[in-house]
Amino acid sequence: MKPAAATGKGRGLLMKREVWLTGGLLFFMMGLSSIAGGTVLVGSVGALLDAVESANNGGDKTILIADGTYDLSGVALFITVDGVTVRSASGNRSGVVLDSHYVEAGTTGIFRIVSSSVTIADLTLKRPYYHAIHISPAAGRSTENILIQNVHIIDPGEQAIKINPDDPYAATYTVNNSTIKNCLIELTDTGRTQLTSDYPCYTGGIDGHWAGNWTVQDNVIRGFWCSDALSEHGIHFWNNSSNIVVERNRIIDCDRGIGFGLGEQGNSGGIIRNNMIYHGPDHGYSDVGISLESTPDAQVYNNTVFHVHAYPAIEYRFAATTGALIANNLTNRDIWQRDGASGTESRNLTAAQASWFVNAVAGDLHLASAVSGVIDQGMALTGLTDDFDKEKRPQGRGIELGADEVLSGAFPGTLSWLMLLLGK
């Protein structure tokens, strides 16, 4: 508990661009300097493109970017070799801004990744025509061990992070065993007017197809809604994805929060736990906080969902959804079993009040007081060892419902379980 390198066709075009970073000091007149340990430091768009191309051809694989704003204007950083890291030199994600300005130049992302063991970290990615980061395997092998960490993505034209197999209908090679963490992914009011697809509101946070063994944790995702159509999810894994863990994320004002499966294009297994999901008044197409569709053997536990609109907090749907576990969740809206789904519901409370939380409208669904129907009312579950803040569960005689475990003595005037046992 806490208080409140681009395609060959595009390369010639890229090298004709003489676009330098703005808003910061030029590092070197050539913009690139090789430093010890297989690392290169870059300070211009041209140098960044050269560094990526060099890495793809056996050069330095760690690329550090000097602080500044870089006008990519649709140019993609196409990574084709294993073991590449691209991050800000300062470690400050707001210090390096890669801005694509919604320019479509035959590429699908600011970063286009087809290789394994790639890290993208400590950056801000703005206004891609399609995706900020697009990952899919190269011909002949699957992609694995992608790490996306401490990245701020602002106003994608479509989905912020897109994960695809080689073939969406009959995949042979997929993207697996990867992590997205500590990121801020958002669609602003301005970005909402700039969506690029012909399909209405074809946007969302993270969208994974045929993805296996991904972990999505400790992110903030907000603003994915439209007034004219239903947005995609803040976090969505479907179309033969499997064994996904989604934990400790804060999702604010997204029409659909977290989803496993969609219609008949399902998912298998996975865990959704310790997330905080808030949605304010209905924008016209508001939907469910957490959904399982055609997803067998998934577990949804210890999440806190608060909706101002009337749509359910959690749904599990369709006959292919079997063996679902829905437990220890704290919500203010119903949990719906629909369309032939089956599973077990246990220890859920669906009558939460806004006053129970530190700041519900800001998405801060930490408990503001020791609510008697919440404290110590949960059941022990395999894998449930901590809460939204990575604090140990349980702290008292039992496990709290929802995402927040209250530290002993956290609330003035509230006796800890140890004091009760000692008779003090």
Q: State pLDDT tens for residues 23-54.
A: 333 344 335 565 657 999 999 999 999 999 99
The pLDDT assigned to 295 comes to: 99
The pLDDT assigned to 33 comes to: 61
Distance CA(179)–CA(29), nearest Å, equals 36
Q: What share of the chain is helix, strand, coil (3-state, %, to 5)?
A: 10, 35, 55
Distance CA(404)–CA(307), nearest Å, equals 17
- CA of 153: how far to CAs of 34, 50, 188, 408, in Å? 28, 23, 11, 37
Residue type, 225: W
- Please report the beta strands in 92-194, taking only residues with DSSP state E, as ranges in sequence order: 96-99, 109-113, 119-126, 131-135, 143-144, 147-154, 159-163, 175-176, 179-181, 184-186
pLDDT at 109 exceeding the cut of 70: yes
- What is the average pLDDT value for the chain, to the nearest integer? 90
pLDDT at 14 exceeding the cut of 70: no
DSSP string over 359-386: EGGGTEEEESS--TTTTT-BPP-TT--B
Give, to the nearest 10 degrees, the angle between helix 8-16 and helix 45-56: 150
pLDDT at 248 exceeding the cut of 90: yes
- CA of 48: how far to CAs of 14, 59, 75, 134, 197, in Å? 11, 13, 11, 18, 28
Give yes or no for a contact between 311 and 333, defined as CB atoms under 8 angstroms apart: yes
Q: State pLDDT tens for residues 260-295.
A: 999 999 999 999 999 999 999 988 999 999 999 999
pTM of the model: 0.90
Q: State pLDDT tens for residues 295-309.
A: 999 999 999 999 999
Distance CA(424)–CA(418), nearest Å, equals 9
Domain residue ranges in the chain: 130-422
Give yes or no for a contact between 328 and 399, defined as CB atoms under 8 angstroms apart: yes
pLDDT at 163 exceeding the cut of 90: yes
The pLDDT assigned to 365 comes to: 98
pLDDT at 6 exceeding the cut of 50: no
The pLDDT assigned to 35 comes to: 61
The pLDDT assigned to 95 comes to: 99
Give yes or no for a contact between 335 and 317, defined as CB atoms under 8 angstroms apart: no
